[in-house]
Amino acid sequence: MQKVHCELLRDLPQQPLAEPSRWPGGRGEVRVTVRRSRSLPGRPGVVLRKSLVALDIACLLAASIPFFLCEIGVVSPMRRGFFCNDSSISYPLLRVETISDSVLISVGILVTCLAITLGESYHVHNFPHSSHAIVRNPYVVALYKEIGTFLFGCMVGQSLTNIAKLAVGRLRPHFLALCRPDFTHINCSAGYVEDYNCTGSPSEEKEARKSFYSGHASFAMYSMMYLAFYLQARFTWRGARLLRPLVQFVLLMVAIYTGLTRISDYRHHPSDVAVGLLQGALVAYWVAFHVSSMFRRKRQPHQPPITILDSPSSDGHTDC
């Protein structure tokens, strides 16, 4: 039946195909140029992206609220009692710290931001990619994403630390040296003492109740661990196999050393430092793998399958 149908089609008069109409210019082809129009400032897409940037800034400020409330002294820490013979809070007061707050913050933020700036500049220069951001400069866009994410993690980590300091109110190892309670009005034979008055400075007394957990340890571990994760994602040079692990090891040792100095300076108990290091590492892992985009691979665009009009059948012949 198929052979008869093919013979009938061959017997039909074949009419010549009409010659395709030509362009008045004389060429037989038409070229169409499609240009992507730039987004105008008043378009809804640009307004939406600006709103998302404002939302990012609002989230960063919201995450920093507990941190600043504790730093400016709006909320006082919980008032705990003590045992008169408790040697863990009877250490002397050392006025000079091994690593001060200013050194910790400046080194932790500046070193990490400098490394991110160099890494993102190299990455954008060698691996350019398209972006739909409102800012056309790809370097600014990359720094906004990575440095903004790092600062968000800083605020989250320090806010968690200060919430714990205020809620727990654990006494520092040099609490008695700062509080200087009047033992003539304290009945130490009663055991746990809750009714006492400190004769020292009220501001120093508040600071002496913020031992758990260590803010130095948590911030140092967060910044150094985040930088180690960043090097893992961006430092892709295969020339020296042990260079990147060595740098990451040094960063972790700096964080651990910072925590240990808080014990030797009588600012924190060993358990305070251990929890601070753990909290900093967990926040760094969460931000690096679940908030930042440095470990996310670019998705390849989906290519539709090629459709073949005349496909050969299973026997190798083209159907009529």
Rounded to an integer, what distance in angstroms lies between the CA atom of residue 154 and that of residue 223?
8
Question: Does 216 participate in catalysis according to the annotation?
Answer: yes
Which residues fall within 8 angstroms of residue 209, CB to CB, at 6 or more apart? 77, 78, 79, 80, 169, 170, 171, 172, 175
User: Which residue among the candidates 5, 132, 185, 216 is catalytic per the annotation?
Assistant: 216
**8 A C-beta contact, residue 226 and residue 153:** yes
Question: Does 123 participate in catalysis according to the annotation?
Answer: no
User: Which residue among the candidates 123, 174, 268, 269 is catalytic per the annotation?
Assistant: 268
If DSSP codes are grouped into helix, strand and coil, which group holds residue 10?
Answer: helix
Mark 240-270 as b/e (b = at least 16 C-beta within 10 Å).
eeeebeeebeebbebbbebbebbbebbbbbe
Residue 198: beta bridge partners?
181
For the CA atoms of 119, 117, 249, 298, the dihedral, rounded to the nearest 10 degrees, stands at: -40
Q: Which residues are catalytic?
A: 216, 268
